[in-house]
Structure 1
Amino acid sequence: MMTLEPVTLRGRHATLEPLTMAHADALAEAVRDGELWKLWYTTVQPPEKMPAEIERRLALQAKGTGLSFAVRDQRTDRIVGLTAYLNADTVHHRVEIGSTWYAASAQRTPINTECKLMLLTHAFEQLGCIAVEFRTHFMNHASRRAIERLGAKLDGILRSHMVMPNGTVRDTVVYSIVAAEWPTVKTHLEWQLARPRG
């Protein structure tokens, strides 16, 4: 049976560190870079709620259904974001990658691509997943484009799926990558990271 255990994943651009309360101040600083909590179509917590958010995520980890990571920029050695495995289905070997956000200064860099490569590699090659899912708000077009660039395919749209903190109702767009597609997706992500950026 698949089990989520804390693990550190290291790449050239980023390191994914298992989330702890020790990351609270650095994450509060990172979320101020771009005032990410003000984006209405996301649920990024403001700086003052970061400790409570970490506690919530650690509770999911204790249940075995989630595993969150602080994202460290290798170039600056600063914590620049957060990402997670969510909704782990240990019987059917499925997991979701989500709750991802990056400081504005870390966006449009190789960090997100490399983090997704590391998380997908671990999911398919160590955890033995048969599918990895991604979910986002229908109106979060930047997130949808980023997920599609990974090579994930659209599964469908869950209409009126959840109520957002501001009271609006979210249509959730669901994507996935399945195990048979992983070798091609991995090659594509490695190519994206290797190509020159101008």
Structure 2
Amino acid sequence: MKNILLENDIVLLRPIEIGDIEGISKAANDERIWEHMSVSLLDLASVESYVKNAIADREKGITYTFVVIEKKTNRIVGCTSFLDISLPHKRVEIGSTWYQPSVWRSAINTNCKFLLLQYGFEELQLNRIQIKTGHENIRSQQAIERIGAVKEGILRNHMIRKEGTIRHTVMYSIVAEEWEKVKAKFTQELLNP
């Protein structure tokens, strides 16, 4: 996967680059973002490391991180990624998604998820796209369920959070056979509320 640009009237998703450090640093500077995340981007050194690691992982084919640009302001408002990329098995995960609080409960996340799902199923011809979140992140679970992903179960004691507590992971997916129904939900309900 190279040079993926995904956009509509609301958002532009483009590959993360070194030149994005300042914009990401501004967007990421709110402690509320990192409550349920495995990283925290509250200082410049953390942002620099995050960007460099994302670029290195893209070059290895491990992950593909996008910056999320709000079209009306032309500024970075977050990041999202394709993770656990396995093109031979025709699957990816959408994750490591974060947004600055000013765009929470806006059309940004819904539009990003639609563009990523559409690219995955229609361009990459994937069989499965999974999305997972922590058991305590109710806001994220509700957002994932709202787009039509199927809850598959909970992976118990799955991860250790940055502060050392145990996280159970709630696993969701959308499979190729469900895409047309999910796409219709997006186009009829979610993208045009």
Counterpart of 1:146?
Answer: 143
Partners of 1:185 and 1:106 in 2: CA distance: 23
Within-5 A mapping of 1:42-191: 42-48=37-43, 49-191=46-188
With normalisation by structure 1, the TM-score equals 0.92
Partners of 1:26 and 1:136 in 2: CA distance: 25
Please tell me whether the aligned partners of residues 68 and 82 of structure 1 are also in contact (alpha carbons under 8 angstroms).
yes
Q: Deviations over 1:117-160 (max 9, x none)?
A: 00000000001100000011011000000000010001111110
Match of 1:35 among 31, 44, 59: 31
Name the aligned partner's letter for residue 45 of structure 1.
S
With normalisation by structure 2, the TM-score equals 0.95
Structure 1 counterpart SS, 2:118:
helix
Pairs aligned (count): 190
Q: Using CA pairs under 8 Å that are at least 6 residues apart, name the structure with larger relative contact order, 1 or 2.
A: 1
Name the aligned partner's letter for residue 102 of structure 2.
S
Q: Which runs of 5+ in 2 are unaligned?
A: none
Q: Deviations over 1:20-72 (max 9, x none)?
A: 1111111110012x423551x22242232111011111122111121000000
Please tell me whether the aligned partners of residues 14 and 68 of structure 2 are also in contact (alpha carbons under 8 angstroms).
yes
Partners of 2:74 and 2:111 in 1: CA distance: 16
Name the aligned partner's letter for residue 184 of structure 1.
K
Structure 2 counterpart SS, 1:148:
helix
The CA deviation at 1:17 is: 1.2
| Alpha-carbon distance change, 64 to 185 in structure 1, aligned in 2, over 3 angstroms | same
Q: Which runs of 5+ in 1 are unaligned?
A: none
How many percent identity over aligned positions?
37
Partners of 2:38 and 2:62 in 1: CA distance: 19
Counterpart of 1:6?
Answer: 3
Partners of 1:38 and 1:99 in 2: CA distance: 11
The CA deviation at 1:89 is: 1.0
Partners of 1:37 and 1:115 in 2: CA distance: 17
Partners of 2:166 and 2:97 in 1: CA distance: 20
Please tell me whether the aligned partners of residues 72 and 79 of structure 1 are also in contact (alpha carbons under 8 angstroms).
yes
Cα RMSD (Å) of the superposition? Answer: 1.1
